[in-house]
Amino acid sequence: MSEKRNKLLLIIPAYNEEGNIERVVKELRENYPGYDYVVVNDGSKDRTAEICRREGFRLVSFPVNLGLAGAFQGGMKYALRMGYSYAMQYDGDGQHDPQYIAAMLETAERENSDIVIGSRFVTEKKPWTPRMLGSRLIAACIAVTTGRRIKDPTSGMRLFNRRMIKILANQVNYGPEPDTVAFLIRCGAKVKECQVSMKERTAGESYLKLGTSVKYMVRMCMSILVVQWFRKKV
Amino acid sequence: MSTPLRIMLIVVSVLTGFYIRRKLRKSQMQIADVLFWLLFAVVLIVMSVFPEAVSWFTELVGVQSPVNFVFLVVIFLLIVRCFALSVKVSSLEAKLNNLVEDISVNRALEEQEEKDPQ
């Protein structure tokens, strides 16, 4: 490779993101040329893959749709194979702001953390919206089972070190969700949070639709409170 | 157990048996999966042919009527099968995910190699 390979890989999961992906990656490449990235096209039915190929983006393209967990794991496999020391999920819809990546990476290295969460509520106060009520509930479940207070468990902006990459790339049931973070804490992972702010989506459709939120909450709480005790530690 | 019910169970079991045989011959099913359904059909036939045995078990476990005991056995077998299928679907899904991810990552690495030889 002509350019020197970095230690951090940004995994950009993309499902039907033709309206966003080009802008997101170009912004990233122009303003932050120091970060490596890979777009994981999760079997999109639109022109996501075509755009990535045309623009010469680094791309892992699935022939079928596996869902966010599959796309995330595919990215982790790529990170593992390419020998990256750190990998983080970076949303293709432009929610995540790259200006905070440096601080997160710096935290991971300084604190020797396994996971660094880009958290909206380290210094900021958590608002009392229905969505944040869900966040509070999940945080409470995590606090009860692990004793750790995670201020923003639902943030998708999470940075993992190589030890975590190995687990996330190869094990079943380690999707990019709060229950995975909770279980990894119980397995002895060191977690830190780093203040970030997030942008609203500009186009396309989110993985988390409104109707599914309640189902999601129930699944997360059950997973954190009950299922975790049956799982084999890594 | 009434005679019509016994006849019905036997007829259905025999028909199921033939259907399973056809599926197996056309290689649409694996032997391991066929075994369960054959066993299921045999259990139904045995219960229809020997209603005294069913009555004996019914009294032993304290169920009101033999037909309820037949239902209980059928429900139990189906739940076990349903759980086994759930396990299988989970494992198939995990394998499929792994395959798709591995193949796609490998292909991406190959493409990268071609574009950008080290």
The pLDDT of residue B2? 86
Are A74 and B101 inside 8 Å of each other by CB?
Answer: yes
- Which member of A58, A62, A172 has the closest CB to residue B94? A172
- What pLDDT band is residue A1 in, cutting at 50, 70 and 90? very low
- How sure is the predictor about A74, in pLDDT bands with cuts at 50, 70 and 90? very high
Which residue from A141, A146, A37, A136 is spatially nearest to A92, judged by alpha carbons? A37
Give B114→chain A minimum CA distance, Å. Answer: 11
CA angle, B13 then B18 then B24, to 5°? 120
* Dihedral angle sign, alpha carbons of residues A216, A115, A91, A120: positive
Residues facing A116 on adjacent strands: A159, A192
Share of chain A above pLDDT 70, in %: 92
Taking CB atoms and an 8 Å limit, are B108 and A70 in contact across chains? no
**Top-level class of domain A8-230:** alpha beta
**Which residues of chain B neighbour A70 with C-beta distances below 8 Å?**
97, 100-101
Predicted confidence at residue B62, as pLDDT, reads 92
In this prediction, the residues of chain B whose per-residue pLDDT falls under 50 are none
Give the distance from residue A115's alpha carbon to the nearest chain B alpha carbon, in angstroms.
23
pLDDT in tens, A171-228: 999 999 999 999 999 999 999 999 999 876 544 555 556 667 888 999 999 999 999 9
**ipTM for this model:** 0.85
pLDDT of residue B29: 87
Query: A58–B100: do the CB atoms touch at under 8 Å?
Result: no
Query: What is the DSSP annotation of B46-71?
Result: HHHH-HHHHHHHHHHHT-SSHHHHHH
Is A61 touching B (CB cutoff 8 A)? yes
CA dist A144 and B69 (Å) reads 45
Sheet containing strand A36-42, strands side by side:
A59-62, A36-42, A8-14, A86-89, A158-161, A115-119, A191-195
Q: Write down the mean pLDDT value for chain A.
A: 90
How far apart (Å, rounded) are the C-alpha atoms in residues B97 and B92? 9
Tens of pLDDT along A103-133? Answer: 999 999 999 999 999 999 998 888 888 778 8
Q: Which pLDDT belongs to residue A133?
A: 87
- CB contact A38 to B (< 8 Å): yes
Among chain B residues, the shortest Cα distance to A63 is held by B100
Closest CA to A178 of A142, A229, A134: A142
**pLDDT more than 90, % of chain A:** 74
Domain ranges (residues) in chain B: 3-115
User: What band does A3 get if pLDDT is binned at 50, 70 and 90?
Assistant: very low
Which amino acid does the sequence have at B32?
A: A
Are A39 and A20 in contact, with CB atoms under 8 Å apart?
no
Give the whole-angstrom CA distance, residue A97 versus residue A10.
12
| pLDDT band (50, 70, 90) for residue A139 | very high
Measured between CB atoms, which of B97, B108, B116 is closest to A78? B108
Asked if residue A50 lies in contact with residue A19, where contact means CB atoms within 8 angstroms, the answer is no
For chain A, the structural domain boundaries read 8-230
Q: Taking 90 as the threshold, does the pLDDT of residue A153 lie above it?
A: yes
What pLDDT is stored for residue A209 in this prediction?
Answer: 60
pLDDT of residue A211: 67
For the segment A80-99, the average pLDDT, to the nearest whole number, is: 88
Q: What is the pLDDT of residue A127?
A: 85
- Closest Cα in chain A, distance from residue B99 (Å): 10
DSSP structural state of residue A229 = G
Q: Which residues of B touch A (CB under 8 A)?
A: 94, 96-97, 100-105, 107-109, 112, 116, 118
Contact B97 A61 (CB under 8 A): no
- C-alpha B79/C-alpha B8 separation (Å) is 22
Residue A81 is nearest to which of B105, B116, B118, comparing CB atoms? B105
Residue numbers in A near B105 (CB within 8 A): 60, 74, 77-78, 81
Residues from chain B that touch A1, judged by Cβ atoms under 8 A, are 116, 118
**Is the pLDDT reported for residue A157 higher than 90?**
yes
Is the pLDDT at A2 greater than 50? The verdict is no
With CA atoms as reference, the chain A residue closest to B114 would be A1
